[in-house]
């Protein structure tokens, strides 16, 4: 900018000097007309050529001046615009009431904001680290290979199903969740229920009644591909019975010695009577299978060798090693008040038959014997010979 000003100043100085020289330059006598007398008082006449050159010079210099002035003005405007953009905007002062309204109008943290640019409004959405890909409904069964560490309950939760559904549709389990083994391939249905092969004479109503569901549930399930205008199923076809259920075989060891409401009712002739029940292991976590159809017990997390405690005072009526219907090494305690507790898959048995025990006594150690898939404690509670949910009894 300084150089431009110096250039303009030098231009005006040179222009003024040139004008002064042009005024002072005398006209040669030879160029004066011979017929006109010389008037000594009259100013000397300038030649026509010199006059034209001066006009051209003035016009050209004027154009140059205008161009320089335009460039100078543009540079100053650009500089002022840059300064205005860099300067922070002053925060407006408002009254407390207006300030409250303004704060309420601002977008809140986590709220979607609609951004604008070039006159186009974008779709507002919350910022998220991962894109949520919606899962499509599944109408066909899939196959799942059991790996080490799997359990019936964890597999069912993985596919949002009930554990008994896996027992319904996988005949190789024989209604026993302890038959689950690594490498076994399970059929995973799309919804809770079971599969049924249609027979001659079956109707939607009769099949629905047999499996405790509704005819509409069978007809409207998309995976069955039933023509809703003319619903029918040919004999031999397999259909999904959504929400259906059937009786499961309960795999229980027989009660040894029975149970009584007082002393003298078992094979050992009585014993302590429990007044309450406690938890039989250090961990309160369920490792694989909870209480439900086909598994009328709790599989409590316990590493091999960890202590197992008597849930209540009573008399030991079974302390037996071996297979024992898949229970492995097992202990049974009669608590003298109608309740019997069973502890299975043990690695060590510390008591013998007809031994009285108190609540919390160490009776053995957790293990992986019998039909077991990983070390844990299989714990049952029976009332008058019928299994009940341990959670309703044990604290």
Q: Are residues 315 and 377 in the same domain?
A: yes
117 DSSP β-pair partners: 120
In this prediction, residue 263 carries a pLDDT of 44
As a whole number of angstroms, the distance between CA 340 and CA 384 comes to 8
Work out whether the CA dihedral 344, 349, 350, 352 comes out positive or negative.
positive
Helices and strands per DSSP (H, E), number in the chain:
7, 15
- Asked if 363 and 382 sit in the same domain, the reply is yes
Let me know if residue 334 belongs to a domain. yes
pLDDT of residue 149: 76
CA dihedral 260, 262, 264, 268 (to 10 degrees): 70
Q: Which of 242, 263, 295 is the last residue of a domain?
A: 242
Distances (CA, A) of 298 to 145, 181, 280, 285, 295: 24, 18, 11, 10, 8
The total of other beta-carbon atoms located within 10 Å of residue 195's CB is 14
Q: Assess if residue 346 is contained within a domain.
A: yes
Q: How many domains does the chain have?
A: 2
Look up the pTM and report it: 0.52
Q: Are residues 303 and 376 in the same domain?
A: yes
367, 300: one domain:
yes
Q: Are residue 268 and residue 352 in the same domain, yes or no?
A: yes
Q: Examine the fold and report which residue of 209, 242, 275 is the final residue of a domain before the chain moves on.
A: 242
DSSP E strands: which ranges in the chain?
116-117, 120-121, 142-145, 185-188, 193-197, 238-242, 298-300, 307-309, 314-320, 329-334, 339-349, 356-357, 362-366, 377-383, 386-388
* Residue 46 half-sphere exposure toward CB, CA atoms < 13 A: 13
How many Cβ atoms sit within 10 Å of the Cβ of residue 23?
A: 10
Residues 193 and 157 reside in one and the same domain: yes
Task: Tell me the two tokens of residue 48.
Answer: 């026509």
- Non-local CB neighbours of 133 within 8 Å, separated by 6+ positions: none
Domain CATH code at residue 376: 2.70.70.10
- Using CA atoms, how far apart are residues 104 and 110, in angstroms rounded to an integer? 14
What b/e string do you get for 358-394 counting C-beta neighbours within 10 Å, with b at 16 or more?
A: ebebebbbbbebbbbbbbbbbbbbbeeeebeebeebb
Whether residues 202 and 269 fall in one domain = no
- pLDDT tens for the chain, 395 residues long, are 566 667 766 766 666 666 566 555 554 544 444 444 455 444 444 455 455 556 767 777 777 788 878 887 777 777 777 666 555 555 555 555 555 554 544 555 545 555 555 555 556 666 666 666 666 788 999 999 999 878 787 898 899 998 889 999 999 988 888 788 889 999 999 999 999 999 999 999 999 999 999 999 999 999 999 999 999 999 999 999 999 999 887 666 655 544 444 444 677 877 888 888 999 999 998 876 777 776 788 999 999 999 999 999 999 999 999 988 888 999 999 999 999 999 999 999 999 999 999 999 999 999 999 888 788 999 999 998 888 999 999 97
- So what's the pLDDT on residue 121? 56
Domain harbouring 157, CATH code: 3.10.350.10
Does residue 120 fall inside a structural domain? no
Domain that holds residue 187: 142-242
The number of C-alpha atoms within 13 Å of 81 and in the hemisphere containing its C-beta is: 6
If asked whether residues 217 and 339 sit together in one domain, one would say no
């Amino acid at each position: 900018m300084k150089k431009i000003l110096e250039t303009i100043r030098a231009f005006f100085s040179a222009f003024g000097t040139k004008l002064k020289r042009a005024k002072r330059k005398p006209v040669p006598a030879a160029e004066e007309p011979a017929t006109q007398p010389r008037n000594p008082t009259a100013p000397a006449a300038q030649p026509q050529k010199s006059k034209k050159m001066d006009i051209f010079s003035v016009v050209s210099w004027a154009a140059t001046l205008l161009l320089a002035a335009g460039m100078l003005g543009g540079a100053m405007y650009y500089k002022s615009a840059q300064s205005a953009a860099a300067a922070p905007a002053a925060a407006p002062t408002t009254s407390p009431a207006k300030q409250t309204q303004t704060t309420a109008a601002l977008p809140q943290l986590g709220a979607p904001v609609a951004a604008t640019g070039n006159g186009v409004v974008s779709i507002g959405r919350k910022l998220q680290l991962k894109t949520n890909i919606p899962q499509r409904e599944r109408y066909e069964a899939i196959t799942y290979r059991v790996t080490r560490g799997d359990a019936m309950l964890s597999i069912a939760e993985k596919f949002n199903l009930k554990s008994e559904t896996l027992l319904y549709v996988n005949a190789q389990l024989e209604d026993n969740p302890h038959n689950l083994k690594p490498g076994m391939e399970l059929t995973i249905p799309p919804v809770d229920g079971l599969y049924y092969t249609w027979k001659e004479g079956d109707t939607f109503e009769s099949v629905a009644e047999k499996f405790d569901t509704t005819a509409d549930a069978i007809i409207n399930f998309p995976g069955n591909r039933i023509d809703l205008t003319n619903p029918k199923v040919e004999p031999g076809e397999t259909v999904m019975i959504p929400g259906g259920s059937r009786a499961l075989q309960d795999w229980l060891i027989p009660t040894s010695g029975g149970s009584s409401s007082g002393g003298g009712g078992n094979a050992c002739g009585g014993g302590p009577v429990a007044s309450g029940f406690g938890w039989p292991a250090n961990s309160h976590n369920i490792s694989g299978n909870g209480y439900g159809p086909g598994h009328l017990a709790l599989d409590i997390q316990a590493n091999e060798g960890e202590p197992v405690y008597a849930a209540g005072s009573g008399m030991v009526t079974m302390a037996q090693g071996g297979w024992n219907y898949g229970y492995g090494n097992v202990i049974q305690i009669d608590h003298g008040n109608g309740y019997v507790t069973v502890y299975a898959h043990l690695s060590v048995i510390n008591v013998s038959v007809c031994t009285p025990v108190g609540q919390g006594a160490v009776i053995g150690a957790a293990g992986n014997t019998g039909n077991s898939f990983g070390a844990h404690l299989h714990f049952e509670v029976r009332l008058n010979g019928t299994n009940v949910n341990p959670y309703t009894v044990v604290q």
